[in-house]
Amino acid sequence: MNRRHFLYGIAASAAAFSAKTATTNALTPKERVDLALAGREVDRPPFSFWHHFGLKTADEHARRTLDFHARYRTDWVKVMSDFPYPKPDGAWYELKLNTNPFPQQLQALTLIRDGLSSKVEFIETVFNSWNVAQKLSSKDDLLAFKDKDPTAVLHALDIITRSQIEHAKRALALGASGILFAVANANEKELSVADYEKFSAPFDRQFLKGISGAKFNILHVHVEAPYLAQVGALPATVFNYSEVVSKIPIAEVRKRYPGRVIAGGIDEVRYTSLSEDDLRSQWKAAQAAAGRKFILTPGCSVPNDSGDQALLRLPEVLKAV
């Protein structure tokens, strides 16, 4: 797609969003995010939600992301990441450092940046190294191989981590305000506590330290209570998790980590069936438990087949119109 044509196509929706925001909200989305990150008073919590588009080109990915943001008026844009980590010519674990593992994603990020109002921030998504290794091999093969040749697995995880730090730095240089770092293996279904400590935590920590200068880094975790101390020690400004899946109350996370910004509160599992009253109740309960350092989000992506009416309910409840 011609770049000028692409940007012309998104300019109208971006301008409409900016004009509507300016006339109906005292704060811009960026101001609202900055105040929440600082734990200061806001007119309402900043919110965002997301799901996977599963698109194959940078142009399609950027277009759908911008249309989604304009339609549902999110306060910040979480850019999905569905382009795969490149496989080596040999065995999956025979990896070399790759300083640009996701070139198509960077193209999409550039288009998204250019299509957004300066009053709206965007963040990139990166999956942790264990997740990437699973995709390069398979869940079952990786679990077996970590016992057969842990040294090879640890080496591969280190290469993936360093390569993804390079990608994240490129994304931040393009204008992303931070990285949503997805850790899906801090639970018994994926790894034991001991194996998480050996095969994941060091690389999760390494990645987050590598991008620690960004202001809006989100640690997104699929976590169970026995792993909470380990993942809570990972350095990130915002802690995002599913209260409904983990069964860990937001009040407990707030008590354990008083200085963290908490993102969550919306039931992503039942999202499509939630009424406006349900959403309002979840918002109010989560905000009461989290306090001022709070961003309203689902615990994870909402269902990919969520219809327009269901997606519109949350911004309507928040009066983000």
Q: Are 262 and 225 in contact (CB under 8 A)?
A: no
Residue 16: Cβ within 10 Å count? 11
The length of the chain in residues reads 321
Q: Write out the DSSP string of 263-275.
A: EEEE-STTGGG--
Domain span holding position 71? 3-317
The CATH number that applies at residue 186 is: 3.20.20.210
Q: Are 228 and 256 in contact (CB under 8 A)?
A: yes
Residues β-bridged to residue 223: 186
The pLDDT value recorded for residue 26 is 80
Structure tokens at 304: 């990919």
Backbone angles phi, psi at 234, to 5 degrees: -70, 140
3-state DSSP call for residue 293?
A: coil
Residue with tokens 């919590």: 45
Question: Which of 210, 181, 215, 183 lies closest to 196 in space, CA to CA?
Answer: 183
Residue 138, C-beta contacts closer than 8 angstroms, at least 6 positions apart: none
Total number of domains constituting the chain: 1
Q: What is the distance between the alpha carbons of residues 286 and 184, in angstroms, rounded to a whole number?
A: 22
- pLDDT tens for the chain, 321 residues long, are 555 555 545 544 454 444 444 444 589 999 999 999 999 999 999 999 999 998 889 999 999 999 999 999 999 999 999 999 999 999 999 999 999 999 999 999 999 999 998 889 999 999 999 999 999 999 999 999 999 999 999 999 999 999 999 999 999 999 999 999 999 999 999 999 999 999 999 999 999 999 999 999 999 999 999 999 999 999 999 999 999 999 999 999 999 999 999 999 999 999 999 999 999 999 999 999 999 999 999 999 999 999 999 999 999 999 854
Backbone angles phi, psi at 192, to 5 degrees: -70, 165
Q: What is the distance between the alpha carbons of residues 164 and 5, in angstroms, rounded to a whole number?
A: 31
Q: Are 246 and 225 in contact (CB under 8 A)?
A: yes
Q: Are 168 and 211 in contact (CB under 8 A)?
A: yes
Q: What is the distance between the alpha carbons of residues 11 and 14, in angstroms, rounded to a whole number?
A: 5
The pLDDT value recorded for residue 55 is 82
pTM: 0.91
